[in-house]
């Protein structure tokens, strides 16, 4: 999991952050709240395909604001069938590339500066 720190925005909520992501990624990727168990780990998902996605979690600690990012299989059924080391082995590099794309967006987005 990657953590990307941004300027402190105590007013920022997961829902408002998700809208910023939708405006940026909406023409290429799906941005949505995850299925039930996924909500334990992410506030929302940036989904490239049924196999490739990034879970995003807004984190607020005292005077710090950050986003936690983690590659994931966005499809609940595929996740249940191919989770863990199997998915990591075959999808790890693609997840990492997607995490880097999302990290770059966060670092450069005016809304998070």
Residue 27 lies in a domain: yes
pLDDT in tens, 33-85: 987 655 568 999 999 998 899 999 999 999 999 999 998 888 766 666 666 66
Domain with 61 in it: 2-108
Higher pLDDT, 5 or 77: 5
Higher pLDDT, 77 or 24: 24
Residue 75 lies in a domain: yes
Q: Domain total for the chain?
A: 1
Residue 61 lies in a domain: yes
Q: Say if CB 35 and CB 20 are below 8 A apart.
A: no
* pLDDT value, residue 12: 97
pLDDT in tens, 81-108: 666 666 667 777 898 999 999 999 999 9
Q: What is d(CA 24, CA 89) in angstroms, rounded to the nearest whole number? A: 29
Q: pLDDT tier at 7 (50, 70, 90 boundaries)?
A: very high
Residue 113 lies in a domain: no
Could you tell me the CATH number of the domain that includes residue 51? 3.30.310
Q: What is the 3-state secondary structure (H, E, C) of the chain?
A: CEEEEECCCCCCCHHHHHHHHHHHHCCCCEEECCCCHHHHCCCEEEECCCCCEEEEEEEEECCEEEEEEEEECCCHHHHHHHCCHHHHHHHHHHHHHHHHHHHHHHHHCHHHC
């Amino acid at each position: 999991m990657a953590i990307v720190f941004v300027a402190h925005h105590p007013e920022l909520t997961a829902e408002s952050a998700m809208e910023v992501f939708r405006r940026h990624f909406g023409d290429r990727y799906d941005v949505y709240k995850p299925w039930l168990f996924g909500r334990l780990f992410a506030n929302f998902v940036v989904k490239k395909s049924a196999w490739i996605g990034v879970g995003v979690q807004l984190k607020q600690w005292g005077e710090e604001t950050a986003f936690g990012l983690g590659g994931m299989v966005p499809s609940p059924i595929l996740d249940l069938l191919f989770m863990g080391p199997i998915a990591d082995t075959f999808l790890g590099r693609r997840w990492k590339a997607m995490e880097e794309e999302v990290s770059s967006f966060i670092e450069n987005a005016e809304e998070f500066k």
